[in-house]
A and B are shown apart, each in its own frame.
Chain A
């Protein structure tokens, strides 16, 4: 059974110090440009203490209170994804000599042991999904794997879901069940701490921990229940895959396409979207070239280009591709949905399109 102990709030710095002493670069939530994102942290005073978020379709806004809590907010735009699946990286390079001979060199990523503090349950679930894509099929991605092995996660149970969150409906949160190295539950005076892996236990045993009281466990339980109950958005439950695929000609696709800008924001903030394109950057002297991969989006024209034509020439087909993949054909590909209920695609949509609303209408559930 997992052991849970209590860390006083004033001892949180010890967690950072131990991680740094163990060779990890610590990334933790911090306010940057009006949003909470992960950045390098050495001093806990830089955590977003008393910072809260308001999220609605097409809206993300931070405000402050006198709360001493550091994690009283829901996820910002950035998931773990960019840390593992780089938004742009060189896959290999090639050189061509005077005789026209080409030599290829595989690029090896520079990998730094990294601990991320404040990972939410939905993002752990998303990481698990990207592991399936990049590590668990016929072909493995070495760069992803190297970074994945070097990643240490300090999860924090979500106590303040945003209005856009629906992880309870997808079963991916708000409480982390597994997949973390360490798990924190933030209470007013400190944190319940649980180790979830060998690496996590190595850190756990070095922390100044006290025995957790029954009262603390009770409050944590109440908090988790509350975080689940306040969520109002839901995906249709039974038969979603079949219902979506049976409604490929639903008039709602056209209606949503009239609002959708086809900007691809939803795919960029989505913690599971894995599409990427390969591009080439030759040097001007012609003797060397780099082959890169960069995030791509099914909302771009080029995504469905094939010898002179586009398979998805309009926004209706692109939105349908995105949603049916995320919620339906993903299940056919990997055995589970591609959506973890983080709600980012709703908050960061400039046209305030709500995935849950669209899915409910198209799959016939109506607005719940």
Chain B
């Protein structure tokens, strides 16, 4: 039982990386050594990142949970707080509280083939899970990483994908609706990537994040391929202000995304998944 879940701790920006014109990564460390030592998270969980005088925003944690030195947030400039956070430079301070929520089912995934499906502008919530699996390769079966983007320029971390594609028993499939120069991956509808898949339905666990329409289409295909509903996991996003199930903004039917999720199995939310307005 944790008291006062609302007040942040101070953290220092140790490094700031510009990933794309509108996407940046902050590598952070709590300024209080005790708090830094106490802090631990699981892949798929998120922090509330606070910009002084402006407010908080929920951001997933991309770093490896066993990296004790720093933790990272990759953030896209899109709203009031994230546009402000984009101005924060190395050495400056922010507030952090967390981690919150339920992450990816990594224990359940052990011994299984893992299929990662993401879309949109890179997918921060699964980066930590990919790194987690790659550094504990023997515990998992085949790793397949599928990423769809509208335009090839939208793909973040090209080097990482390239590196991942060279790992043992790892298959990377990337598709862009439109390609630019020197695009080594597929071109065409993202859903076409599934034609390349050769999965063992009873041995596969899928982890997805990105636009809900994309996940909806992916789930449909995976169910057709006989993967069980309870082996399809997705990370959901809604407005979050308190992160502890009190403020009501992230309600998703009978779930609070902040504390019951953000990772859900499809069978937990299938009643309302895809229904506009929830």
Residues of A within 8 A of B (CB): 91-92, 94, 96, 100-106, 133-134, 137-142, 245, 248, 274-280, 282, 286, 289, 291, 293, 296, 298, 302-308, 311-312, 316-317, 320-321, 325, 328-329, 331-333
With A139-B245, A296-B248, A333-B256 already in contact, the answer to whether A96 and B52 are too (CB < 8 A) is yes
Q: Which residues of A contact B238 (CB under 8 A)?
A: 304, 306, 311
Q: Which residues of B contact A101 (CB under 8 A)?
A: 10, 31, 93
B239 touching A303, Cβ below 8 Å:
yes
Q: Which residues of A contact B33 (CB under 8 A)?
A: none
B10 touching A102, Cβ below 8 Å:
yes
| Residue in B52, B247, B271, B275 whose CB lies within 8 Å of A278 | B247
A311 touching B277, Cβ below 8 Å:
yes
Q: Residue B79 at the A interface, CB < 8 A?
A: yes
Interface of A: prevailing SS = mixed
A332 touching B254, Cβ below 8 Å:
yes
In the complex formed, the residue of A with least CB distance to B81 is A280
Q: Which of B53-61, B135-143, B187-195 lines the interface with chain A? A: B53-61
Q: How far apart sit A322 and B91, CA to CA, in the bound complex (Å)?
A: 44
A-B contact pairs, 13 of them (CB 8 A): A94-B52, A96-B52, A96-B53, A102-B10, A102-B94, A104-B10, A104-B95, A139-B244, A275-B249, A277-B247, A286-B53, A329-B253, A329-B254
B78 touching A307, Cβ below 8 Å:
yes
Q: Which residues of B contact A291 (CB under 8 A)?
A: 6, 55
Q: Which residues of B contact A305 (CB under 8 A)?
A: 239
- Could you tell me the distance in whole angstroms from the C-beta of B34 to the nearest C-beta in chain A? 15
A298 touching B239, Cβ below 8 Å:
no
Q: How far apart sit A331 and B31, CA to CA, in the bound complex (Å)?
A: 42
What would 18 more interface pairs be, CB under 8 Å, given A92-B6, A104-B8, A329-B253?
A: A100-B91, A101-B31, A102-B94, A103-B10, A134-B246, A139-B246, A140-B3, A274-B246, A280-B54, A280-B55, A296-B247, A303-B249, A304-B239, A306-B238, A307-B237, A321-B277, A332-B254, A333-B254
Q: Which residues of B contact A308 (CB under 8 A)?
A: 78-79
Q: Which residues of B contact A278 (CB under 8 A)?
A: 55-56, 241-242, 247
With A102-B93, A142-B4, A282-B53 already in contact, the answer to whether A307 and B247 are too (CB < 8 A) is no
Q: Residue B69 at the A interface, CB < 8 A?
A: no
| Residue in B2, B52, B92, B278 whose CB lies within 8 Å of A289 | B52
> For B1, B2, B53, B256, which residue has the most chain A Cβ atoms within 10 angstroms?
B53
B241 touching A277, Cβ below 8 Å:
yes
Interface of B: prevailing SS = loop
With A102-B95, A308-B79, A321-B277 already in contact, the answer to whether A276 and B248 are too (CB < 8 A) is yes
Q: Which residues of A contact B239 (CB under 8 A)?
A: 302-306, 311
Q: How far apart sit A8 and B4, CA to CA, in the bound complex (Å)?
A: 46
A312 touching B277, Cβ below 8 Å:
yes
Q: Residue B276 at the A interface, CB < 8 A?
A: yes
Q: Residue B186 at the A interface, CB < 8 A?
A: no
A311 touching B278, Cβ below 8 Å:
yes
In the complex formed, the residue of A with least CB distance to B5 is A139
B246 touching A141, Cβ below 8 Å:
yes
With A96-B52, A282-B53, A296-B248 already in contact, the answer to whether A307 and B7 are too (CB < 8 A) is no
| Residue in A142, A302, A325 whose CB lies within 8 Å of B251 | A325
In the complex formed, the residue of B with least CB distance to A99 is B93
Q: For this complex, into which size category does the number of interface residues on chain B fall?
A: 35 or more
- Could you tell me the distance in whole angstroms from the C-beta of B36 to the nearest C-beta in chain A? 16
> For B92, B239, B244, B271, which residue has the most chain A Cβ atoms within 10 angstroms?
B239
Q: How far apart sit A199 and B34, CA to CA, in the bound complex (Å)?
A: 42
Q: Residue B9 at the A interface, CB < 8 A?
A: yes
A104 touching B244, Cβ below 8 Å:
no
Q: How far apart sit A278 and B250, CA to CA, in the bound complex (Å)?
A: 13
In the complex formed, the residue of A with least CB distance to B57 is A307
| Residue in A94, A104, A306 whose CB lies within 8 Å of B237 | A306
Q: Residue B259 at the A interface, CB < 8 A?
A: yes
- Could you tell me the distance in whole angstroms from the C-beta of B57 to the nearest C-beta in chain A? 9
With A139-B244, A306-B239 already in contact, the answer to whether A104 and B9 are too (CB < 8 A) is yes
A280 touching B53, Cβ below 8 Å:
yes
B2 touching A139, Cβ below 8 Å:
yes
Q: How far apart sit A306 and B79, CA to CA, in the bound complex (Å)?
A: 9
Q: Which residues of B contact A329 (CB under 8 A)?
A: 251, 253-254
In the complex formed, the residue of B with least CB distance to A101 is B93
Q: Residue B76 at the A interface, CB < 8 A?
A: yes
Q: Which residues of B contact A282 (CB under 8 A)?
A: 53-54
- Could you tell me the distance in whole angstroms from the C-beta of A338 to the nearest C-beta in chain B? 11
Q: Which residues of A contact B253 (CB under 8 A)?
A: 245, 329, 332
- Could you tell me the distance in whole angstroms from the C-beta of A336 to the nearest C-beta in chain B? 12
> For B5, B9, B56, B241, which residue has the most chain A Cβ atoms within 10 angstroms?
B241
A137 touching B245, Cβ below 8 Å:
yes
Q: Which residues of B contact A91 (CB under 8 A)?
A: 6-7
A106 touching B247, Cβ below 8 Å:
no
Q: Which residues of A contact B95 (CB under 8 A)?
A: 94, 102, 104
- Could you tell me the distance in whole angstroms from the C-beta of B271 to the nearest C-beta in chain A? 7
- Could you tell me the distance in whole angstroms from the C-beta of B5 to the nearest C-beta in chain A? 5
> For A277, A302, A308, which residue has the most chain B Cβ atoms within 10 angstroms?
A277
Q: How far apart sit A138 and B52, CA to CA, in the bound complex (Å)?
A: 27
With A104-B7, A311-B278 already in contact, the answer to whether A298 and B78 are too (CB < 8 A) is no
